[in-house]
Amino acid sequence: MTYEFAVIETPLGPAHAVARDGKLCALQLAATPPRPSSLLARLDLPRAQRAFDRAGIRSAVAAYFRGDLGAVDDVEVDPDGTPFQRRVWAALRAIPAGETTTYGALARHLGMPNAARAVGAANGANPIWIVLPCHRVIGSDGELTGYAGGLDAKRWLLEHERSFRAQRLDRIEAGCAARG
């Protein structure tokens, strides 16, 4: 197994990224202490290879922050987690940029209507920031709830996505009007 490590600059501060055999397995804001069980806490990062971007994450993250919200959609991931966590994390990728869902709705989508708390716990253990967009999951009352990077970062990401999504929709409508 080959691990690659990179520090990626973002508008929310530097992020640490780890790829394993060319697939992203961890991405987290550097200011957020890694959970003891996380790959970022377990790896000897100074010894990991620094020639990083076989996974394309550096360019995908940069494009995402420039407004290409779908740029991270094709990044291959290989997160460490239980089968249930992996199901939840895969479902996160189906939430469109700029939209939100609730823990309960996500549990129902997974065919487990009583598992909202378990979905929340899996969300909280998400090792891949932005690419597995747990920031798009909110409380049943519409309020922003727990986020490893902090609620200000969650709010910023949602506003970023809504802003660029709205701009894209405006361009599409203008193009349709010009043709119509």
> Cβ(167)–Cβ(124) under 8 Å?
no
- Which residues, 6+ apart, have CB-to-CB distance to 147 below 8 Å? 134, 135, 153, 154
What residue has token string 């253990």?
125
CA 55 to chain centre: 15
Q: pLDDT-derived band of residue 3, with 50, 70 and 90 as boundaries?
A: confident
> Cβ(2)–Cβ(18) under 8 Å?
no
Out of 26, 61, 134, 137, which one is annotated catalytic? 134
Say which residue, 36 or 92, is predicted with more confidence.
92
pLDDT at 39 over 70: no
CA distance 110 to 104: 10
3-state secondary structure of 66: helix
Q: Which of 39, 35, 38 is nearest to 5 (CA)?
A: 39
pLDDT (tens digit per residue) in 140-169: 898 998 888 889 999 999 999 998 876 655
3-state DSSP helix/strand/coil percent for the chain, to nearest 5? 45, 15, 40
3-179 belongs to which CATH class? mainly alpha
Q: Which of 98, 140, 105, 99 is nearest to 119 (CA)?
A: 105
Catalytic residue status for 134? yes
CA distance 155 to 158: 5
The reported pLDDT for the residue numbered 170 is: 53
> Cβ(134)–Cβ(144) under 8 Å?
no
